[in-house]
Amino acid sequence: MEASRKLICRQRQVLFFFFFLGLSQAGTEPRRYSVVEETEGSSFVTSLAKDLGLEQGELSKRGPRVISKGNKLHLQLDQETGDLSLNEKLDREELCGHTEPCVLRFQVLLENPLEFFQAELQVIDINDHAPVFMDREMLLKISESSPPGTAFPLKNAQDMDVGRNNIESYIISPNSYFGVHTRQRSDGSKYPELVLDKVLDRESEPELRLTLSAQDGGSPPRSGTAQVYIEVVDINDNAPKFEQPFYRVQIPEDSPTGFLVVTVSATDIDIGVNGEISYSLFQASEEMSKTFEINPMTGDIRLKKHLDFETIQSYEINIEARDTGSLSGKCTVLTQVLDVNDNAPEVTMSALTRQIPENSPETVVAVFSVSDLDSEENGKISCSIQDDLPFSLKSSLENFYTLVTEKPLDREARAEYNITITVTDLGTPRLKTEHNITVLVSDVNDNAPAFTQTSYTLFVRENNSPALHIGSVSATDRDAGANAQVTYSLLPPQDPQLPLASLVSINADNGQLFALRALDYEALRVLEFGVGAADRGSPALSSQALVRVLVLDANDNSPFVLYPLQNGSAPCTELVPRAAEPGYLVSKVVAVDGDSGQNAWLSYQLLKATEPGLFSVWAHNGEVRTARLLSERDAAKHRLLVLVKDNGEPPLSASVTLHVLLVDGFSQPYLPLPEAAADAAQADPLTVYLVIALASVSSLFLFSVLAFVAVRLCRRNRASWVGGCSVPEGHFPGHLVDVSGTGTLSESYKYEVYLRGGSGTSELKFLKPIVPNSQGNYLASEIEENPSFRNDFSFSIQGQ
């Protein structure tokens, strides 16, 4: 019973609460508050104490409470400060969906004394959702007959936002045919409507692809897109059209039934059933229908019966092409019947020779007759052969012909002739008969073997192994059989002293050449001989060719030093004044190499010296020069060891010793004069340095004696001056050498050395080299016209 009373008492309290709540709501206007959605929790909404007109401490004493529907508390009240704040972040779309405005109602209850206040919290929408199309792709089928202005509603997009943040408009991608209008339903939602601006033509553009965009009114605005595929549906708006309005054909009168006269063709740019075409004869007479028929699907026109040129010479056939609708096209076939020549000419062979020797004079090849069973023009006959053959036709009796050669035949030019005798009548159309004859040309030995080259150049490196194959010669004979079989042989050499048979041999069957022994480049550089090629005809014919064997050099010769000589005699001593400047020419090492090419390219190197660093050797010309200034502390005598090396593989070398003596007070004649240096710069450096080296080792006394003798001789023979006055070879020192064109020297040289008469210093003057003329004489390349040289003398250093 006690429990029953408590339950009844509680029910009464609840009834009183809602009663007072209803009275308070009916009697007072609710207070309104607002907050933007997605605002963070604990954000301040309002000060409830101020809104109720209570002091801060008074509100807490009255026991305030916030009550909301469903006990879902979105707000929280601070009892001490009376501030009302958010309990959590609010999502307008989750709370209210598309309802606008979004209002959350709540009550404020003061327990002591009991008092109610009604309040509302409005959640303001923000643009946090973009429009979304439920179908990202839309397909529309629109007939090409649709008039402009036709509207096609499309599926709308959805936006969870409301108000101005909801969908504002729709946009279509730029195109020539459609625009889009934004329509609004009764519930306020907006949807797109596609409007046709221009008539569609399926034949020019069968489908369109457009992009539809939905845009809301938020700031910044958001948008969503969908693809709209438009398929243009065909209508029957095009008639069939023939490829050409007139067809002209010719039919022989002997054409069989079923013969294909012509195929007409029409096209319809429509598709599907609208483009299917059937062909038929249009307004055909009874005779036309009996003579021709047409395939309704392919347009093939064929004969149904034989034609007769004598009855009807031409037909005009009208053809209609119709599609499945009511549209059609027409064309005309003009058919001409041709008269037939139905008998071909015949050839009857009376005599035939199938093989003719070449070089024969005019020869009869065949005798034949021709005939034709037709009459009048169709029975008249013409006979011919190819124009490019050395044969001709001669008419003998009526319809009889003789085939003869026009000129002697050459089997090497052509061994076989295929002759086609063509017999043609003059009918319409002309009929012809072809008769083929094969004529063979037999061979005669009228061609000598011919070498592939008039001369052959072969290369073989010296020191080769015996029986080495060095090359081949080849000759061909245009004849056939035994007349074309070639045998090779060596021809006797022009020089009877040349042992050709011991040097080379030739294979008689294939023309291969072999070196029988090792060849030496230095002894024999070029070997020339003739080879012959003979056939086996009767009589035999032959030809010959020149073979030139070039022996290639191998590096098998060491360099040979010409100067200074190393022959066991007294060593050559070069005098160098201590006052010489750096780069002073001391001497020149002259060497040659018996090889050629790069095997004869020489380089010079200073291997050993009494005092290193005092002298240097130029690598390319062998000049020995001072490397620095000389001093009193330098030794008087020096011994230089120079290495001369060629450029072969492997390189070979030789060495030479040069003695140098440093002297004080070197007299003026030993020093080069300015003009002598200028002349020497114009001459070949190697030759000028050689003469300087020779002159520097001669004694002053010997020069005085030679000058006296030379002046006397030159005054007597001045009128017949050619090549200077030679001084006997025995008057020169033993180390003077010939300078020839072998090795590193390119040609023979001859030098004129003049001693100026009347000079107090007896100075030497070296001029340019004297080169040999075409008769082998030596002429002075330069003669100074200074009167002071009238008493000059000369001596020669002449190469062999």
Distance CA 143, CA 206 (A): 10
For the cut 80, the answer to whether the pLDDT of residue 261 exceeds it is yes
Which amino acid is located at 531 in the chain? V
pTM passes above 0.75: no
Cα angle: 726, vertex 732, 733; to 5 degrees: 165
Taking residues 577-601, what's their average pLDDT? 89
User: What percent of the chain is predicted at pLDDT more than 70?
Assistant: 77
Question: 573 falls in which pLDDT band (50, 70, 90)?
Answer: confident
The answer, yes or no, to whether residue 115 has pLDDT greater than 50, is yes
DSSP for 447-494 reads ---EES-SEEEEEEESSPPTTEEEEE--EE-SS-GGGG-EEEEEPPPS
What does the chain come to in residues? 800
Per-residue model confidence as pLDDT tens digits over 432-462: 899 999 999 888 888 899 999 999 999 999 8
- DSSP SS3 for 158: strand
DSSP label at residue 297? T
Half-sphere exposure of 572 (CA within 13 A, CB side): 26
The values of phi and psi at residue 411, to 5°, are -65, -35
Residue 643: pLDDT over 90: yes
| pLDDT, greater one: 516 or 45 | 516
- Any residues with CB less than 8 A from the CB of 778 and at least 6 apart, and which? 722, 723, 750, 770, 771, 772, 796, 798
pLDDT at 510: 92
Residue 28 pLDDT class (50, 70, 90 cuts): low
Confidence at 570, pLDDT banded by 50, 70, 90: low
Distance, in Å, from the CA atom of 297 to the CA atom of 571, rounded to the nearest integer, reads: 120
- Whether residue 405 is predicted with pLDDT greater than 80 in this model: the reply is yes
Tokens of 597: 């090419």
* CA 660 – CA 566 distance, rounded (Å): 15
Lookup: tokens for 537: 């005809």
Least confident of 28-32, 171-175, 216-220: 28-32
Mean pLDDT of 248-275: 88
On the question of pLDDT at 794 being above 60, the answer is: no
The per-residue pLDDT of the chain, averaged, comes to: 77
**What would the pLDDT profile of 306-328 be if each residue is shown by its tens digit?**
988 778 889 999 999 998 877 88
Please give the pLDDT value at position 716.
60
The gap between the terminal CA atoms of the chain, to the nearest Å, is 164
pLDDT of the residue at 697: 64
**449 burial level (CB within 10 Å; 0-12, 13-18, 19+):** buried
Q: Are 585 and 625 in contact (CB under 8 A)?
A: yes
When pLDDT is averaged across residues 175-192 and rounded to a whole number, the result is 87
Q: What is the pLDDT confidence band of residue 404, given thresholds at 50, 70 and 90?
A: very high
Name the residue among 406, 403, 405, 420 with its Cα closest to residue 369: 403
Res. 684 pLDDT band, cuts 50 70 90: very low
Query: Average pLDDT of 713-720?
Result: 56
Q: Tell me the per-residue pLDDT of 479-515, one tens digit each, with 9 for 90 and over.
A: 888 888 999 999 998 888 888 888 899 999 999 999 9
Least confident of 64-73, 122-131, 285-294, 349-358: 64-73
